[in-house]
Structure 1
Amino acid sequence: MKNQHSWAFKLSLLSVSILAMTTSSISAAVPLMQHSMRGQSLSQIESIITMPNFGFLLLIMFSGIIGKKLGIKRTIMLGLGLFLIGGITPALTSNYAIIMITRFLMGCGVGLFNPFSVSLMYSFYQDDELSAMLGYQNSAKNLGAAGIGLLIAALLAFSWKLAFLSYLIVLIPLVLFGLFIKVPDQHTEMHAKENGHINHKIWILTGLMFITFCGFMSVVVKLGSLVTTEKLASPSVAAIALSLMGVVSMVSSGFFSQISKRLGDFVMPASLLGMALGMFLIASATNIVLVFAGVFLVGVFFGWVLPQSFLRVGKVASPNAKHISTSMVLVGESLGSFLSPAIMNGMANLVGNGLPATVLMLAGSGLVFMTLIDFYCSFTGYYQPAAAK
C-alpha cells in the first residue's frame, strides 16, 4: 500500500469523491428533455434529476453492512460499477421507465461508495491533515461537478441523450482506486465494530443538511428553467453557470482549513447566509451577469458547508460510530436533494406563484432562518466536544 500521507495515495482516495455531486449535473437538460418527452409532466422530468438520491437513500444505511460482507474496497468498486451502468444507459434510450430505473441504480452506486469516501478519512487522518483532506474532498466533488457540467454544456448542443455520456468520468476512480488503494484489514475491522449509536447532535446536523440541500438543489434544478423563462439565456448557458458554481466551490473548499482556523464553528452560519444572498440575487436578476454573480456567491459559500458538517461529525460522533454518523448526515443531504422539487414547488404553489424565481426566493429565506439557528448553536458551542466546552 502506498504511504497514506503521499499525494499519490491522497489523489487516488479523493478520486472517488469526484462523482458524489455529479448525478444532478444533467439538470440543464430539463428543458430539452421536456420537449422530447411530451408524455411526462415537468415534475416527472425533474424527478429524473433527483431519482439517484432515492437510490442513494436506500443503500447508504446498508453500506456498512455490505462493507463488512464484501470488504470496503469491493463495496466501493461495486458502487462505481453501478454508477457507470446507471449513468450512461439514458444515452441509449428514450424510455422514461428505463431511464428512471437506471438513474435509481446510479444512486445506489453512490450510496455504496460515498460514505466510505468520508469515513475512511477519519481512519487515515487526524487534526489539521483531516481538516485539509475534508476540504480537498469537497474540492474533488466540485471538480467532478464542474468537469461534467462543461461536458454537458458542450454535448447539449447535439442532444440531451449524448450529454449522459459525460458520466464516463467514473472510469477515472475505477482505475485509480482500483489500482492504487488497498484498505488494510484493521480499517475494515474498525467499521465492523461500530455499534450504530447516533447521538442527538448528529440528528440535528442531519436536519440542517436536509434543509440546506433542499434549498441548494433549487438552484441546481431551477436555474435552467429560470434563465429560459425570464429570457435571459439558453439552457447551455445555464449549464455553464452551474459548472462555474462547481469550480468556485472547488476553489473555496481548498481554503477550508484556513477559513476554519479563523472562523471556527461560525463557518457554517456564515456559509448559509452567503448562499441565501446568492439565491436572492439569482431570483431577482434582470440579466445573465447578475445570474452569474449569484451563482458565484452560492458556489463560494457552499464550498464550506460539507467540510464543516463532516468536521462536526468528527468532533461530536462517538468514536465507534463515525461511519454510521457520516451516513446519517449524507442521508439528510440526499433526502433534501431528492425531495427538493416537491417541497419547493409545493411551497411556491402555496403562495400562489410557481415561477422559478419564487422558488429561489423561498429557498433563500429558509437558509436565512437556518442561519439564525446555527449561529446560536455555534455561539453556545453546541457542536464542540464535551471536553472542549
Structure 2
Amino acid sequence: MAKVISKFHSWLIIVALLSLNIVEQAASVINATIPGMAKSFPNEALVNIELVTTVVSIFVTIFVLVSGVIVKWIGQKRTAILGLLIASVSSIIPAIINNFTAILISRAILGIGIGLANPLAISLIGVFFYGDQRAKLMGWRSAIAGIGTAAMTFVAGQLLVFSWHAAYWVYLLFIPTLVLFIFVVPDPEKSGALQRQEVEQEKEMAEAAKQGNEVKKNPIGLIILLTLLTFFTLVSMMVFAVKLPTYFVQSHIGTPTDASNVWSAVNLATVVGGFLFGPIYKKLGKYVLPLGLLSAGIIPFVSSLWLVYAVSMIEGIAGSLIIPYIFNRISEVSSAKKAPLFTSIALVGSNLGSFMAPYAGEVLGMGTNAGLAIMNAGIINIILAIASIAVIFMLKKANVAKRI
C-alpha cells in the first residue's frame, strides 16, 4: 500500500526531481574554461581540449540506455543516487588536478553519471505524479533546467576570475540534489508508489477509452514513433541553432552578434514555454503536438531581423511544447517497470538528433546554403505537424468504428 505523502514532502520531491534536470544539462556550464585550459596545456590541440564538453555527451548517450538495465537490478532511486554520486565526484576532479588526460577521463565519467540519472529525472515524475500535475511538471522540468543551467554558467563565470580550475567547483551544486534524493525521495519499489502509479494509469486509460482515445499499455510501436519524432525535432531545432549565425551573414539580416542575441531569446522563450506547457496541455490535450510542430516550422519564411526575433520566440515556446508532450505521453502509456527503459530510448533519439544536426544541416542546405538548411528544417516540422494531425484523426476514427 502506498504511503501518504504530505504536501510539504511532495514539494520537496518536486524540488529534487526538477533539480535533477539541471544536472542533466550541466556539462556545458564550464565552456568558458576552454581558453584558459588551452594556455595551461599548450601541447594539446584545441579540438582535444574542446572534448571536455563533447565527451560528456557521448557517454551520456551510451549510459542512458544502460540506466534502464541498472534500474532492473537496484531500482530507480538507487540508480539515480548512483548516477548523482558518480557525477558529483567526477565533476570536481578538474578543480584539483592538472593532468589533461585525467581531466578528460573525469569528464567521460561525468557523462556516465549523468547518463545513469538522466532518464530517472523524467520517469520518476510519472511515478509520483499523475494527470494534469504530471503534465505541468513535464513542462517545468525544461524551464527549471534552463534557469538552473544559466545560473550555474553565471557562477562558473564568477569563479573563472580566480582560475579555470576554480570554475569546476560550480559542480558542488550537485550535492544538494544528491542529499535530497538520499533523504527525501521515497523508494518507488518499497513505498508503494509503483503500485499507485499502475492504478492511476488504469484510471487514465479507462477515461481515455471513454473519449475514444484508447491506447494499449507499453505500445512498442508508439514508443518507436515518439523516439523518431524526438530525433527529427532535435535535428530541426539544432540545425536552426547551428546555421543561424551563417544565415544572418549570408542573407545580410544582421551580424553574428545579432544571431547570438536571437538564440538567447529562444532560450528565454523555452523557459516561458516550459511553464506554459501544463495549462496549454490541459486545454488542448494531444493537439499540443501538431501546434508545437507547426509553430516551429514558421521560422524559415521570415527575413526581417525583428520578425526573426518574434518568430524565434515562438520557436522556443514550440520546442517547450513538443518535448514535454513526448515524455508526458511516454509516462502515460508505460508501465512502472518499463517507463525508465522507454524514457531512455527516447533520450537516445534526442541526443542523436543533437549530434547529427551539423551533418543534417549540410544535407538540408545542399552544402553551404544556411538559409536553405533552416528552411528545409522548418519544412520537416510542418510535415511532422501534418502527419501528427493525420494520425490523431485516423486513431479517433478507428476508435469510433471500434465502438460501433
- TM interval, shorter chain, is 0.7 to 0.9
Higher alpha-carbon deviation: 121-130 or 28-37: 28-37
Distance 1:379 1:359, change over 3 A: same
| Contact kept in structure 1, 2:77 and 2:188, CA below 8 Å | no
Distance 1:387 1:76, change over 3 A: farther
Name the structure 1 match of 2:20. 16
Distance 1:249 1:54, change over 3 A: same
Q: TM-score, normalised by structure 2?
A: 0.73
Name the structure 1 match of 2:319. 302
**SS of alignment partner, residue 61 of structure 1:** helix
Name the structure 2 match of 1:269. 290
Partner Cα distance (2:70, 2:149) in 1: 27
Matched, 1:257 2:274: no
Matched, 1:114 2:118: yes
**SS of alignment partner, residue 351 of structure 1:** coil
Which residue identity does 1:352 align to in structure 2? G
Name the structure 1 match of 2:213. none
Name the structure 1 match of 2:108. 104
Which residue identity does 2:222 align to in structure 1? K
CA RMSD of aligned residues (A): 4.4
Deviation at residue 268 of structure 1 after TM alignment: 1.2
Deviations 1:297-326 (A, max 9, x none): 222111112221122213333565222222
Q: 1:77 aligns with which of 62, 78, 81?
A: 81
Deviation at residue 380 of structure 1 after TM alignment: 2.9
Partner Cα distance (1:207, 1:234) in 2: 33
Which residue identity does 1:232 align to in structure 2? T
Distance 1:204 1:292, change over 3 A: same
Deviation at residue 261 of structure 1 after TM alignment: 2.2
Matches within 5 A, 1:1-389: 3=5, 5=7, 6-24=10-28, 49-85=53-89, 87-88=91-92, 101-151=105-155, 166-186=170-190, 199-221=220-242, 232-234=255-257, 238=260, 242=263, 244-278=265-299, 284=303, 292-318=309-335, 320-341=337-358, 343-347=359-363, 351-353=366-368, 355=370, 359-381=373-395
Which residue identity does 2:348 align to in structure 1? V
Deviation at residue 104 of structure 1 after TM alignment: 3.0
Which residue identity does 1:262 align to in structure 2? K
| Contact kept in structure 2, 1:88 and 1:167, CA below 8 Å | yes
Deviation at residue 225 of structure 1 after TM alignment: 7.1
Q: Unmatched 5+ residue regions in structure 2?
A: 199-216
| Contact kept in structure 2, 1:16 and 1:177, CA below 8 Å | no
Q: Unmatched 5+ residue regions in structure 1?
A: none
Deviations 1:26-64 (A, max 9, x none): 67888999999897587x787664443321222122213
Partner Cα distance (2:382, 2:239) in 1: 15
Partner Cα distance (1:315, 1:177) in 2: 24
Partner Cα distance (2:393, 2:278) in 1: 20
Deviations 1:61-88 (A, max 9, x none): 2213323434433321221233345545
Pair member with larger Rg = 2
Partner Cα distance (1:147, 1:177) in 2: 21
Name the structure 1 match of 2:212. none
Distance 1:37 1:386, change over 3 A: farther
| Contact kept in structure 1, 2:127 and 2:336, CA below 8 Å | no
Deviation at residue 226 of structure 1 after TM alignment: 6.9
Distance 1:202 1:241, change over 3 A: same
| Contact kept in structure 2, 1:276 and 1:363, CA below 8 Å | yes
Which residue identity does 1:212 align to in structure 2? T
Deviations 1:237-272 (A, max 9, x none): 93x765554443222222222101222212112112
Percent of residue pairs identical: 29
Deviation at residue 374 of structure 1 after TM alignment: 2.0
Partner Cα distance (1:246, 1:174) in 2: 27
| Contact kept in structure 2, 1:279 and 1:295, CA below 8 Å | no
Which residue identity does 2:357 align to in structure 1? S
| Contact kept in structure 2, 1:150 and 1:243, CA below 8 Å | no
Which residue identity does 2:363 align to in structure 1? M
Distance 1:104 1:217, change over 3 A: farther
Partner Cα distance (2:188, 2:357) in 1: 39
**SS of alignment partner, residue 27 of structure 2:** coil
Higher alpha-carbon deviation: 101-110 or 325-334: 101-110
Deviations 1:189-219 (A, max 9, x none): 959xx9x966111101100001111222334
